[in-house]
Amino acid sequence: MSRVAGGLVLLLAVGCQPSGPHVVFEIPVGFTGEVWVVDDPAGGTPFAREGDKYVVKVPHNGVRKAASVEVLRQRHSESARFWNGTVLLRDSRNIIPDDVTTLRGGVYVSRADGGRSVAFVAYYVGNKERAQKFLDNPRPPPE
């Protein structure tokens, strides 16, 4: 059984903020699994803004089509929360216990697959074992 942890995110976000924008991921309550932020200039929408922060709202199917993923490719800091505001830890330094449900990843992938070209940033919400299986070789998002 996995645990959802929340209290440490403020310490992690404040203690290790790199220069660049801050990105907040909003995840559906109870969601676990693959997250694809797809670079789709023709059909994607820009990330919302909260002051100087970018907000990436992930839909229930885990596929967020964005007008650009450039902010995720440059140096930035990240945090995550469920849609109800509950904090979800972001494991960017591999220090969260393996069984804790958290946002993991941030792998940029650009590939041709089955006749289509797709570029995306892959994340996983869940425990370390399942995240690693996906993030070691992220498959393209469903069409």
Give the rounded percent of residues in the chain with a pLDDT score beyond 70.
84
**Going by DSSP bridges, is the β-strand pair 87-88/77-82 parallel, antiparallel, or unpaired?**
antiparallel
Every domain of the chain and the residues it spans: 3-135
Average confidence (pLDDT) over 71-99: 87
pLDDT tens column, 38-84: 999 999 999 999 999 999 999 999 999 999 999 999 999 999 999 99
Contact 97, 61 (CB under 8 A): no
Residue for token pair 């216990």: 97
pLDDT for residue 142:
87
**113/67: higher pLDDT:** 67
Q: What is the pTM of this model?
A: 0.82
What are 6-21's pLDDT values in tens digits? 433 333 333 344 578 9
**What average pLDDT does the structure give for the chain?**
85
